[in-house]
Amino acid sequence: MQPERTTYTLLELTRSIQKTFADRYVSAYWIRAEMNKLNHYSHSGHCFPELVEKQHGKVVAQMRSTLWRDDYIRANEQFIETLGQPLKDGIKILFLARVGFDPIYGLSLRIMDIDPAYTLGDIEREKQETILQLKREGLYEQNKSLALPLLPKRLAIISVETSKGLADFLEIIDKNPWGYRFFYMLFPSLLQGDKAVDTITLQLNRIRKVKNHFDAVAIIRGGGDDIGLSCFNNYRLAKAIANFPIPVLSGIGHSTNETVTELIAHYNAITPTKLAEYLIQAFHNFSVPVMEAQEALLSIPSEILKKEKERLITISNMIGRTVKASFIREKQTLQNQSFRMKREVFHIVSRSRYEVNQYSTTLDVRSRTIITSNHQILLQTNKAISDYCRRQLVNTNEKLTNMEIQVRHLDPVNVLKRGYSITMQNGKAIRDHHMVKTGDTLQTKLLNGTIQSLVQSSSNDSF
């Protein structure tokens, strides 16, 4: 016969286990774990968090827990007050709990309190670890070293379509009073939560394939707390941004400590509005010198005309002074000759009145001849100088007139008046048929108006 066996009911066994746990675990314990799922039931207000511990990405411990309604409300309010965000899935927590065993529900932990400071510290540890790893790999300054175009007008935007930050950003760049035009394309993505890293990285990979169509990537988010921004400390996302082939601009929208994404981005603005203003300023930095150069170019013809007129007046005055001086010199020469002649006559008369009488007639004729000849020379000289002055004035006026005509011909309005037109795309003149493709919209500037047209085909036919 088999010996008599001692048997227990399942209830007896579970109650024994329950008593053992109650006798052994009489205190509450502070425990660190990852809250994989909160499992909050809104109808009762209770939560049944799934707690796990991972090592090297593998779950090494797992336990069910309870967080009763009143304890949940208190802990959740502490989280909101400290971190600005409620309890949620996927965060590491430090909690005070009692170990319990129930005959029906089995082993579990009853969570009594949660320390939000531990969760915030875990975020900071992840941030510092990501920064250190990027610096070890030489990636920390890589995106900052890229050159941003002088006119960063083609933007790939990663944001949530309904984000207020995105709306503020577009309001500024679309309605800027200077008329600067931007091309942008939205790549929708989650910007917080467990899936944010994957969706942002996915959109970065999409943009990388068409990177030649953009000048920069703008990551825009309408503000948030440190927990909500924790995804921007993720190493995988930070590495994707650091390695990105074109500049990445961040406007995540908060004024607390910067995330890793903001630290390694080519440029970081505190808010989406500030990021838009940064892009507008880039246009200012380019357009102001261009406008000053345009004004300088427009003033050149006037300056040339002014200088030529001043030079003409100077030449005219100089010629007048030269003619006057020549006339005075010739007059003085004539007076000197007359004086010498008179002296010679006086000496001759003194020496011999006879000779004077004898040669008086001849001397008189000679004197008249000399006076007439010199007077003729003076008249010819005066006429030659006057003719020269008139020719110089005529030539200078002709040059000025030709220069003025050339300047007027170069005026774009006169070019349009002659029947020509200017064909543009996005404000840029089209000079080659390769610059457009089928389906593009073109603007043709005429003297009186603008024509918009749709490209059906293009070829390299020439006149």
Structure token digits, residue 221: 């988010």
pLDDT band per the 50, 70, 90 thresholds, residue 432: confident
pLDDT band per the 50, 70, 90 thresholds, residue 371: confident
Q: Identity (one letter) of the amino acid at 307? A: K
Domain boundary among 126, 151, 184: 126
pLDDT band per the 50, 70, 90 thresholds, residue 136: very high
Structure token digits, residue 92: 């590491």
pLDDT score of 267: 94
Among 109-113, 114-118, 261-265, 418-422, the range scoring the smallest mean pLDDT is: 418-422
pLDDT score of 194: 65
Residues 198, 249, single domain; the answer is: yes
- C-alpha–C-alpha distance, residues 187 and 189, integer Å: 6
Residues 298, 400, single domain; the answer is: yes
Long-range CB contacts (within 8 A, 24+) of 63-70: 63/33, 63/107, 63/108, 63/109, 64/105, 64/106, 64/107, 64/108, 64/109, 65/97, 65/108, 65/109, 65/110, 65/111, 66/108, 66/109, 66/110, 66/111, 67/111, 68/110, 69/44, 69/45
Residues 219, 338, single domain; the answer is: no
Mean pLDDT over each residue of the chain, to the nearest integer: 85
Residues 404, 298, single domain; the answer is: yes
Count how many domains the chain has: 4
C-beta atoms surrounding 316 within 10 Å: 14
154: Cβ–Cβ under 8 A, 6 or more apart, which residues?
A: 182, 183, 184, 213, 214, 215, 216
- C-alpha–C-alpha distance, residues 245 and 184, integer Å: 18
Task: Tell whether the model's pLDDT for residue 51 goes beyond 70.
Answer: yes
DSSP for 300-352? HHHHHHHHHHHHHHHHHHHHHHHHHHHHHHHHHHHHHHHHHHHHHHHHHHHH-
Task: Tell whether the model's pLDDT for residue 206 goes beyond 90.
Answer: yes
Residues 249, 186, single domain; the answer is: yes
Residues 399, 348, single domain; the answer is: yes
What CATH number should be reported for the domain holding residue 197?
3.40.50
Task: Tell whether the model's pLDDT for residue 224 goes beyond 60.
Answer: no
pLDDT band per the 50, 70, 90 thresholds, residue 75: very high
- C-alpha–C-alpha distance, residues 87 and 304, integer Å: 75
Task: Tell whether the model's pLDDT for residue 256 goes beyond 60.
Answer: no
Structure token digits, residue 219: 């990551």
- C-alpha–C-alpha distance, residues 101 and 11, integer Å: 12
Task: Tell whether the model's pLDDT for residue 460 goes beyond 80.
Answer: no
**Residue 276 belongs to some domain of the structure:** no
Residue 456 DSSP one-character state:
-
**Residue 104 belongs to some domain of the structure:** yes
pLDDT band per the 50, 70, 90 thresholds, residue 201: very high
pLDDT band per the 50, 70, 90 thresholds, residue 119: confident
Range of the domain at 448: 416-454
- C-alpha–C-alpha distance, residues 300 and 320, integer Å: 30
Task: Tell whether the model's pLDDT for residue 189 goes beyond 90.
Answer: yes
pLDDT band per the 50, 70, 90 thresholds, residue 350: confident
**Residue 1 belongs to some domain of the structure:** no
Residues 262, 374, single domain; the answer is: no
State the virtual CA torsion across 305, 308, 310, 313 in degrees, nearest 10. -130
Domain boundary among 270, 305, 321: 270
**Residue 438 belongs to some domain of the structure:** yes
**Residue 161 belongs to some domain of the structure:** yes
Residues 95, 143, single domain; the answer is: no
Residues 423, 361, single domain; the answer is: no
Task: Tell whether the model's pLDDT for residue 58 goes beyond 90.
Answer: no
**Residue 132 belongs to some domain of the structure:** no
**Residue 96 belongs to some domain of the structure:** yes
User: Hey, which residues does 107 pair with through a beta bridge?
Assistant: 101
Residues 165, 230, single domain; the answer is: yes
**Terminal Cα distance for the chain, rounded:** 119
Write down how long the chain is: 463
Among 284-288, 358-362, 379-383, the range scoring the smallest mean pLDDT is: 358-362
Residues 163, 244, single domain; the answer is: yes
Residues 221, 324, single domain; the answer is: no
**Residue 278 belongs to some domain of the structure:** no
User: Hey, which residues does 313 pair with through a beta bridge?
Assistant: none
What CATH number should be reported for the domain holding residue 26?
2.40.50.140
Rounded mean pLDDT, 429-435: 80
- C-alpha–C-alpha distance, residues 426 and 420, integer Å: 20
pLDDT score of 351: 76
Among 209-218, 239-248, 353-362, 387-396, the range scoring the smallest mean pLDDT is: 353-362
